[in-house]
Amino acid sequence: MVKEKDIWNVLEKIRDPELGVSIVKMGMIKKVELKGDAVYIECELTTPACPLKKEIEDSIRSELSRIEGIRNVEIKTTAKVLPSRRILPEDILPSVKNIIAIGSGKGGVGKSTVATNLSIVLAKSGAKVGLLDGDIYGPSIPRMLGIKEPVRTDGKKLIPPEVYDIKVISIGFFITEDTPLIWRGPIISGALRQLFTDVDWGELDYLIVDLPPGTGDIPLTLAQTLPNAHGVIVTTPQPAAYSIAMKALMMFKKLNLNVIGVIENMSYFICPHCKNRVEIFGSGGGKELAEKLNVSFLGSIPLDPEVRISSDEGVPIVISNPHSEASKAYFDVARRLAGKLSMISFKLLRS
């Protein structure tokens, strides 16, 4: 007759595919219930966007099905996002578990589009997500998300508008589209700090910060204000973008921001007529950059006119056409990003 301890012994031998640690030791198994020839398992992942969810479930089902007397394995999978940063008593955002700064060395690589679509994908997975438009001089996220409602206040804090299940704040909510901001560095830095501190973010699993291009005041302010944030670099394949993205990546390292990885945007174009793949801007720049600096390559996103059209219309591609090639790429990149953060969280927890 099968006993509950037999189930636990088998589960103890199943390891997380990325970390190589027992899923029992990681605390992922929350409940084991045995009823006759059926076993019920509750498994808690470290992110709802876990890229290995199916692999872990298949391993559990496969290993338990080998036990003589077990005919049915039912698995309920939940998720609880863990912080990937040390939250100190003086932290200005103590209820935000993970902060990811999306940067680039130059403009025009689609950084804001990437930040917006990744935020939505993470939210669609079930995570609590915030998106901060840190591009003070050229805020574009309000248009990309089609937000026209004014920012409200409760008398103490700003209440960020919510769209597609993400909380959003941008300097663009407080100025007209044709108003230029002719501000010096200290004013810019102060404005960014206010977007962090004067907004009621509530509890967030992920806060995505869309940085302006380059290596100026904003990244420096971010590093000083939130020293435990992580960085992601967006580049395009061609050598010109690659060399400048290298500077942005080195900037993150000099500011002691942990660089999670590199995303290559506009990697290739699929002809809508002949379906051939054309690498308009060359190939491999993002991967080469990641390998050279020993960080993860999070994936490639194709060049697709529909991405531009959907952003201009305020309905990002992962919402307007979630089955498109570009949307599938965004989902893959978001899962890899969430997986990397989970690995950092687990190592932080063990330390």
Report how far residue 102's alpha carbon sits from residue 237's, in angstroms, rounded to the nearest whole number.
Answer: 17
CA distances from residue 24 to 7, 15, 43, 192, 224 in whole angstroms, order as listed:
11, 8, 10, 42, 38
pLDDT confidence bin for 127, thresholds 50/70/90 = very high
Is the pLDDT assigned to residue 117 strictly greater than 90? yes
All structural domains of the chain with their residue ranges: 4-79, 96-350
pLDDT digits (tens, 9 = 90+) for 190-215: 888 888 889 999 999 999 999 887 76
Report how far residue 132's alpha carbon sits from residue 208's, in angstroms, rounded to the nearest whole number.
Answer: 6
Report the chain's mean pLDDT, rounded to a whole number.
Answer: 89
| Element containing residue 63 per DSSP (H, E) | helix 53-65
Strand pairing report for 158-159 and 152-153:
antiparallel
| Element containing residue 190 per DSSP (H, E) | helix 185-197
pLDDT confidence bin for 250, thresholds 50/70/90 = confident
How distant is the alpha carbon of residue 318 from its chain centre? 14
What pLDDT does 183 receive? 63
Model confidence, pTM: 0.91
CATH topology of domain 96-350: Rossmann fold (3.40.50)
In the structure encoding, which two tokens stand for residue 299, read together?
């994936």
- Residue 157: φ, ψ to 5°: -130, 160
Query: DSSP readout, 83-137?
Result: PSS---TT-S-TTEEEEEEEE-SSSSS-HHHHHHHHHHHHHHTT--EEEEE--SS
- For 49, other C-beta atoms within 10 Å of its C-beta total 28
CATH superfamily of 4-79: Fe-S cluster assembly (FSCA) (3.30.300.130)
Is the pLDDT assigned to residue 91 strictly greater than 70? yes
The residue that leads in pLDDT, 285 or 299, is 299
Report how far residue 102's alpha carbon sits from residue 29's, in angstroms, rounded to the nearest whole number.
Answer: 33
- Which of 113-127, 230-244, 298-312 is the least confident region? 230-244
Mean pLDDT, residues 181-185 taken together: 63
In the structure encoding, which two tokens stand for residue 86, read together?
């040390």
What pLDDT does 29 receive? 95
Residues in CB range of 333: below 8 A, 6 or more apart: 118, 263, 298, 299, 301
In the structure encoding, which two tokens stand for residue 113, read together?
């589009």
Query: DSSP readout, 150-186?
Result: PPEE-SSSEE--EETTEEEEEGGGSS-TT------HH
Is the pLDDT assigned to residue 281 strictly greater than 70? yes
| Element containing residue 259 per DSSP (H, E) | strand 258-270
What pLDDT does 280 receive? 86
Is the pLDDT assigned to residue 267 strictly greater than 70? yes
Q: What is the DSSP letter of 211?
A: P
- Residue 224: φ, ψ to 5°: -75, -35
In the structure encoding, which two tokens stand for residue 141, read together?
């996220």
Mean pLDDT, residues 32-53 taken together: 92
What pLDDT does 180 receive? 66
pLDDT confidence bin for 272, thresholds 50/70/90 = confident
Report how far residue 22's alpha carbon sits from residue 218's, in angstroms, rounded to the nearest whole number.
Answer: 41
Report how far residue 145's alpha carbon sits from residue 311's, in angstroms, rounded to the nearest whole number.
Answer: 7
Closest CA to 122 of 54, 28, 201, 47: 47
Q: Where are the alpha helices (DSSP H) in 209-324?
A: 217-225, 239-254, 285-292, 305-312, 317-320
